[in-house]
Amino acid sequence: MTSQPRDTPLRGVHERLGATMTEFAGWLMPLRYTSETAEHNAVRSGAGLFDLSHMGEIAVTGPGAGAALDYAVCGWPSALAPGRARYTMLCAPDGGVLDDLVIYRQGAERFLVVANAANTAVVLGELQRRCPGARVQDETAATGLVAIQGPNAAGILSAVTDLGLAGVRYYAGAYATVAGCPAWVARTGYTGEDGFEIFCAAAGCERVWTALTAAGQAGPGLVASLVPAGLAARDTLRLEAGMPLYGNELGPDVTPYEAGLGRVVRLDKPMDFVGREALAARAVAGPRRTLIGLVARSRRVPRHGYAVLSPTGQPVGVVTSGAPSPTLHTPIAMAYVETGAHGPFGIDVRGTTEPADVTDLPFYDRSKQG
């Protein structure tokens, strides 16, 4: 018997806005409100507002919380100063990625672990097993999460919070109030733009959304108004920014080294951690395949699962994510290819070989835009 998808605290808001809803990772989520391209472009030029309440929030607390997380993940959470965050991964003993995470140190003895929605139960179970010296509690149901992303994000958010945003660095956060609601406000995101993620009580989530929407209407100092953005725009934004998606670029059959994210593996930390031996061996041996960026020469879009072909037409890899890029106005893709494989590569698009050029990731970098 199929279970009903869970509602976020903002379901009523999405329905009033006329969003196209879809089931995603066990949740009913807005796919788009108008056009995913328009929503994507609004984030690049102004600001977009996202409901991310489907993400998993797991609190790890107590005097032994830092040491417990050091053992559980491949990063070094105990080295974080309070108010700082780090991107890391939960790996299996063989080095495969069970989920990629953001960990916030909210206090001396409190860490907030944010997991992908589809993996929340897995992450919760693993942390409970790996962290016997700490208290591990699932706070997902009690938490609402709203993200505001784009060049106008700070200006809009500043109108409804008591937090001085100029003092919040990238991958840092602080307790504050937003629209009168107690919140954890972090300068993090998944779009390649500056922006903030606002964690608050589920009961206050609609109030935060409504206040940000009102503050984000076009006016003095704002080039464009704030628009709601759905999962479709979120996916093209993260693809342009070269950010991995679990189930596409990451999974149990991939180590961080294949994904070009070996930097998150802290082999220099003095304590043992799950997967350390396997990851150390992979660091020495090198990745078995390499994640690359591809820009299609034609208008045909490479999609997840399409084969990447060598100059002689032999399969040497597979597309993990692909879409038309609203910013670059051409189809782009990320793909794994065998280490040592050389282009020029082609992509098998429904039986036709379409040429593609290899490019450095990310496809889009806001720091390099004119």
**Cβ(340)–Cβ(331) under 8 Å?**
no
Residue 224 has pLDDT above 80, yes or no: no
pLDDT (tens digit, 9 = 90+) per residue, 41-86?
999 999 999 999 999 999 999 999 999 999 999 999 999 999 999 9
pLDDT at res. 1: 54
Cα–Cα distance measured from residue 281 to residue 236, given in angstroms and rounded to the nearest whole number: 34
Q: Where in the chain is the domain with CATH 3.30.1360.120?
A: 6-55+142-240
pLDDT at res. 223: 52
The CATH fold of domain 56-138 = Alpha-Beta Plaits (3.30.70)
Q: What's the CATH number for 288-368?
A: 2.40.30.110
Q: Where in the chain is the domain with CATH 2.40.30.110?
A: 288-368
Per-residue pLDDT, averaged over 29-43, amounts to 97
Cα-based distances in Å from 362 to 86, 358, 365:
19, 12, 6
Mean pLDDT of the chain: 96
pLDDT at res. 225: 83
Closest CA to 72 of 278, 277, 275, 283: 275
Cα–Cα distance measured from residue 237 to residue 241, given in angstroms and rounded to the nearest whole number: 6
Cα–Cα distance measured from residue 224 to residue 46, given in angstroms and rounded to the nearest whole number: 5
Cα–Cα distance measured from residue 104 to residue 59, given in angstroms and rounded to the nearest whole number: 10
The CATH fold of domain 6-55+142-240 = Gyrase A; domain 2 (3.30.1360)
Structure tokens at 130: 């790996």
**Beta-sheet pairing, 143-149 with 195-201:** antiparallel
> Which residue(s) pair with 50 in the sheet?
147
pLDDT (tens digit, 9 = 90+) per residue, 143-174?
999 999 999 999 999 999 999 999 999 999 99
Cα–Cα distance measured from residue 34 to residue 42, given in angstroms and rounded to the nearest whole number: 12
Residue 218 has pLDDT above 70, yes or no: no
Show Cβ contacts of residue 351 under 8 Å, excluding neighbours closer than 6 positions. none
Q: Where in the chain is the domain with CATH 3.30.70.1400?
A: 56-138
Structure tokens at 322: 């692909």
pLDDT at res. 113: 99
Upstream peptide bond of 182 is cis (omega within 30 degrees of 0): no
**Cβ(208)–Cβ(9) under 8 Å?**
no
> What single letter denotes the amino acid at residue 132?
P
Cα-based angle 166, 9, 194 (whole degrees, multiple of 5): 25
pLDDT at res. 220: 61
Cα-based distances in Å from 341 to 97, 302, 309, 316, 336:
24, 19, 10, 7, 10
Residue 315 has pLDDT above 60, yes or no: yes
pLDDT (tens digit, 9 = 90+) per residue, 323-366?
999 999 999 999 999 999 999 999 999 999 999 999 999 999 99
Show Cβ contacts of residue 333 under 8 Å, excluding neighbours closer than 6 positions. 293, 294, 296, 302, 306, 319, 320, 321, 322, 323, 347, 356
**Cβ(299)–Cβ(307) under 8 Å?**
no
pLDDT at res. 204: 98
